[in-house]
A and B are shown apart, each in its own frame.
Chain A
Amino acid sequence: MDSDKINLELGCTTCTTQTTYSVPIGPVHPALKEPIQFTFRLSGERIVGVDIKPGYAHRGIEYMGMKRNLIQVLYLAERICGICSISHPLALTQAVENAAGIEVPPRAQYIRTIIGELERIHSHLLWAGVAAHELGFDTLLHLVWKVREKVMDLLEQLTGNRVDYAIPIYGGVRRDIPDEKAGLAYEALSYYKNLLQDMINAFLHDKSVAMRTSNVGVLTYDDAVALCAVGPTARASGVKKDVRQDMPYLAYADMDIRAITPEDYGKPVVGDVFDNIVVRLLEVDQSIKIIEYCLEHMPGGELTSIPKVAALLAVLKKADGEGIGRHEAPRGEVFHYIRLEAGVEAPVAWKVKAPTYSNLMSWVPKFMGDEIADIPIIAASIDPCMCCLDRATLVDQGGGEAVKLKEELVKLSREKTRRMCG
């Protein structure tokens, strides 16, 4: 890359470094929880270019799904991602119900909503812990993960498993939430309600968190719209975008859901990592309120419209048509498209668009102009999920010399950074 051009881009006239160099990170790297490869082009400490190569966790799930019957596909969808392990089945069941014209009883819709929102609580707490870790604030990581165990316990009591809940099935849900278990849910919710202010204090009123995250990894409103960012990543940039608000489904249609932006915390929108923390913490509070509403207004009635699996398979085999399912997963909108043909058990086409796929390109403006030490927290700020993302492989153009830099990155991240330019 032309060094004059870089200096120009950075608005830097005093730079003495005349060359840029490339730093490959990944696919297996201590700062990354999952395999992905970054190649950063650097001018001194500043990032002037980034090349992202995902695809290491690509398992070919859509291809496998097109050779199995729809009940088996449901198990596959659940295993697209272990963190969003209800989001993908929720979107898939909606797509199939849409294609086959299957009705879902109201009680089942409420149960789906409750589990979906519990998942959001555990996922956002998980993210908050990881973000604290990337900042070198391990005490906070352990504190957050300790309180996260409460929602994991509740999920286990309601569904029988800590992860992979196997709750939705085409036409309804597989397990009820009886009254005695609703009591457990209320208890866990009040635990989190009491705790939320402490969490806000620990993250948002902490000087070192503010110094490391304010004006770091900025995604402007215009960039977020142009790059089609979704979920908390877009909302942190002030884009009021939320599937639960824009296209209400399940029990969300009975509630007044509003997309949460940093303005709800009474601060101007910057779109930096700090705003990402604000949005995710406030969404935990929103989820608590949604679950409370669902528990209070839970309608009676059937759990599923077609209880027998054999009958369900027969209905699905006769179905002909295409359908879409959308769900606001913890990371943003997850979209499933399915095409069924009469007489064929397996779906003829199945397409999954996971939230990280939409958010991937927002990494580029977020990284540009920031320092090497900010890489871990910016990478974490969109809450990336490679196993969700890797439905298709993207390879950008990149190049240059390879210079090895390994776990120094995590150490570097512990150094304070506060400026961003470009």
Chain B
Amino acid sequence: MALPRSFKKALWVFHVATGSCNGCDIEIVAALTPRYDTERFGIMLTGTPRHADVLLVTGPVTRPMLSRLKRIYDQTPDPKAVVVVGGCGSTGGVFYESYNVQGPVDEVVPVAVYVPGCPPRPEAIIDGVVKAVAHLEQAGVSK
């Protein structure tokens, strides 16, 4: 089943930094600015998870952010897709054996797409968000 027309050219993303080093976060902003200009595809950052279709999560999940990430995930309306940007959000990366790091994002919320890299290039982030559309379509079928 195709997604409703409203999704086409209007995929809104919300960015959550759960303890990242800023590398991925800055590349996400770079993806929005004129060189890459994702807004021409309708991909834009929104100010609240309640308006978002895709959650871009960066960084390993630190303990203080654990409950916040769960809450933000619950606040995002269905169908939704979580895209993890960067190596440390995907696997933990260099951040292991720490008292304050809970672990990678998929231990906390279900993840649809992993974008590897430290940090991934803006092209890779855009590719990850585009792949999330396929996930959203599938989620639409199962509903």
Contacts and interface: CB of A to CB of B under 8 A. Distances in A.
A205 interface: no
Contact of B65 (A27, A64, A142): A27
Contacts of B97: 64, 67
Contacts of B62: 56-59
B68 interface: yes
B22 A81 contact: yes
A410 B98 contact: no
A206 interface: no
A72 B83 CA distance: 28
Given A28-B68, A59-B95, A145-B29, A79 B48 contact: no
Interface string A120-162: 0000001001000000000001110110110010000000001
Interface in B48-100: 48, 59-60, 62, 64-65, 68, 72, 88, 93-100
Nearest to A34: B17
A202 B26 CA distance: 23
Interface in B21-57: 21-27, 29-30, 33-35, 47-48
Given A55-B64, A64-B97, A30 B23 contact: no
A34 B34 CA distance: 23
A152 B122 CA distance: 12
B3 interface: no
Nearest to A79: B21
B119 interface: yes
Contact of A82 (B16, B24, B100): B24
B111 interface: no
Given A30-B47, A126-B26, A145-B34, A81 B21 contact: yes
B68 A82 contact: no
Interface string A15-39: 0000000000001101001110000
A387 interface: yes
A413 interface: no
Contacts of B20: 57, 82, 387
Interface residues of A, number: 43
Contacts, number: 123
Interface string A65-86: 0010000100110011111010
A76 B94 CA distance: 7
A76 B95 CA distance: 8
Nearest to B69: A28
Interface size class of B (residues with CB under 8 A): 35 or more
A288 to B, nearest CB: 21
A57 B98 contact: no
- Scoring B22, B35, B59, B97 by chain A CB atoms within 10 A of each residue's CB, the highest score goes to B22
Contacts of B64: 27, 35, 55-56, 58
Interface string B7-20: 00000000011111
A129 B29 CA distance: 10
B41 to A, nearest CB: 16
A152 B30 CA distance: 10
Contacts of B35: 145-146, 149
B118 interface: yes
B70 to A, nearest CB: 12
A291 to B, nearest CB: 21
A57 B33 CA distance: 25
A416 to B, nearest CB: 21
A85 B22 CA distance: 10
B139 interface: no
B96 A163 contact: no
B100 A58 contact: yes
A406 interface: yes
A275 interface: no
B8 to A, nearest CB: 24
Contacts of A148: 30
Contact of B30 (A60, A72, A75, A149): A149
Contact of B47 (A27, A58, A79, A407): A407
A126 B23 CA distance: 12
Interface of B: 16-27, 29-30, 33-35, 47-48, 59-60, 62, 64-65, 68, 72, 88, 93-101, 118-119, 121
12 contacts: A27-B68, A33-B29, A35-B19, A57-B20, A79-B88, A79-B118, A85-B21, A148-B30, A162-B119, A164-B119, A387-B21, A406-B48
The 4 closest A-B pairs by CB, nearest first: A82-B23, A30-B47, A145-B33, A60-B98
Given A63-B99, A387-B20, 15 more contacts: A27-B68, A28-B16, A28-B68, A58-B100, A61-B95, A75-B94, A79-B118, A82-B20, A82-B26, A126-B26, A129-B33, A145-B34, A162-B27, A164-B118, A385-B22
